């Protein structure tokens, strides 16, 4: 009798845990963050495109149950809302926006929806890095990660805990190579005059470079209000490529930082920097749901220095696949002549 009653109580408690897991999931869902893993919480979340369900296990002694709950679909990208993905191109690219320019001659070799103004996610950090580098601030100065650097926009995680101290150079390295959001925000916050002054300088620099379609509101790219066009980003890549610090940090395959008694290993968010088939001089990736998967690069293909811009790619690996398609196309056609393809849409506000 005691065993039956005990079992009944156990099953009742088990059902309670299942109900609790479902409630926690509904309350705790947050958009996927830019180039960063979601924050650890009571429910494990996976990025859109990786999984359409969430799995949470509760252990009770030797017994374990698994609750499978369907995820709420991520919001569509601004490019998808504008119908940019319906535009077909010769290379069958998965990015809704693409631009390939000869860096020396400024000749446009390939373009697709290149005038569309869209969120740019962590491509923002390329401008962040440019402002920090040009300010000539001491790279060995220690900067403290504070609560102000914690992402409240998308809820992204970070291994740089509040209270961590790193040099400005290390933060810049992590921001460009691994798209570390807290590192980028701390760089802006530690700028003379603070974050507001830093963002003002970002926008002033964009205007000076002729980036007429570009606007920044913060230094990480987590906000969908950071927006630009493919042509503007090509201008930024060309300028940033002239900076040896940005070239080195953005193309570094990996980097270790000492945090207290821990050593953290960071890797580049762009796997192409490790590929022997690529000669990349500068790169930056980006992702938030509103922007899709993004990639900009300076590279050398078939003897030509190229600037490549890919925005609003649908799949996690599709921006890399698009870069590979362009490279193979250029190797087969060193002097291509391809008409531009685009829609009439210029800007989408979501």
Active-site annotation holds for 179: yes
Give the C-alpha separation, 302 to 64, whole Å.
56
Given a contact cutoff of 8 angstroms between Cβ atoms, the answer to whether 97 and 79 are in contact is yes
Catalytic residue among 95, 115, 158, 179: 179
Q: Which of 317, 328, 320, 276 is nearest to 297 (CA)?
A: 320
Given a contact cutoff of 8 angstroms between Cβ atoms, the answer to whether 298 and 241 are in contact is yes
Catalytic residue among 125, 154, 205, 284: 125
Residue 261 CB-density burial (10 A; 0-12 exposed, 13-18 middle, 19+ buried): exposed
Q: Angle at which helices 244-251 and 230-241 pack, to 10 degrees? A: 110
Q: Which of 203, 222, 221 is nearest to 213 (CA)?
A: 203
Beta-strand ranges (E) seen in 25-137 are 53-60, 63-70, 95-102, 108-112, 118-119
Active-site annotation holds for 122: yes
Give the C-alpha separation, 252 to 341, whole Å.
34
- DSSP for residue 347: B
Catalytic residue among 111, 115, 122, 224: 122
Compute the residue count for the chain: 350
Any idea which residues carry the catalytic annotation? 122, 125, 179
């Amino acid at each position: 009798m005691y065993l039956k009653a005990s079992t009944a109580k156990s099953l009742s408690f088990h059902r309670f845990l299942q109900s609790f897991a479902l409630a926690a999931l509904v309350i705790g869902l947050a958009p996927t963050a830019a180039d960063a893993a979601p924050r650890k919480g009571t429910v494990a979340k996976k990025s859109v495109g990786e999984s359409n369900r969430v799995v949470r296990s509760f252990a009770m002694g030797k017994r374990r149950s698994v609750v499978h709950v369907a995820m709420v679909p991520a919001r569509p990208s601004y490019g998808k809302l504008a119908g940019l993905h319906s535009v077909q191109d010769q290379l069958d690219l998965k990015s809704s926006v693409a631009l390939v320019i000869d860096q020396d001659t400024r000749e446009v070799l390939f373009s697709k929806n290149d005038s569309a103004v869209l969120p740019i996610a962590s491509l923002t950090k390329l401008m962040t890095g440019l402002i920090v580098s040009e300010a000539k601030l001491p790279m060995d100065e220690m900067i403290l990660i504070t609560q102000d650097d914690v992402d409240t926009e998308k809820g992204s995680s970070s291994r740089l805990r509040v209270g961590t101290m790193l040099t400005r150079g290390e933060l810049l390295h992590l921001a460009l190579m691994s798209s570390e959001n807290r590192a980028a925000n701390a760089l802006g916050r530690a700028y003379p005059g603070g974050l507001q002054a830093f963002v003002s300088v970002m926008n002033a620099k964009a205007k000076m470079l002729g980036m007429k379609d570009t606007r920044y509101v913060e230094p990480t790219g987590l906000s969908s209000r950071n927006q630009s066009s493919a042509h503007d980003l090509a201008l930024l890549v060309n300028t940033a490529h002239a900076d040896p610090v940005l070239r080195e940090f953005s193309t570094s395959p990996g980097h270790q930082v000492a945090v207290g008694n821990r050593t953290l290993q960071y890797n580049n968010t762009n796997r192409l920097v490790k590929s022997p088939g690529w000669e990349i001089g500068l790169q930056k990736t980006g992702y938030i749901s509103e922007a899709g998967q993004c990639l900009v690069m300076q590279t050398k293909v078939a003897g030509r220095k190229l600037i490549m811009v890919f925005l609003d790619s649908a799949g996690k690996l599709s921006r890399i696949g698009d870069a590979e398609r362009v490279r193979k196309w250029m190797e087969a056609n060193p002097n291509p002549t391809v008409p531009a393809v685009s829609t009439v849409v210029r800007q989408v506000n979501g």
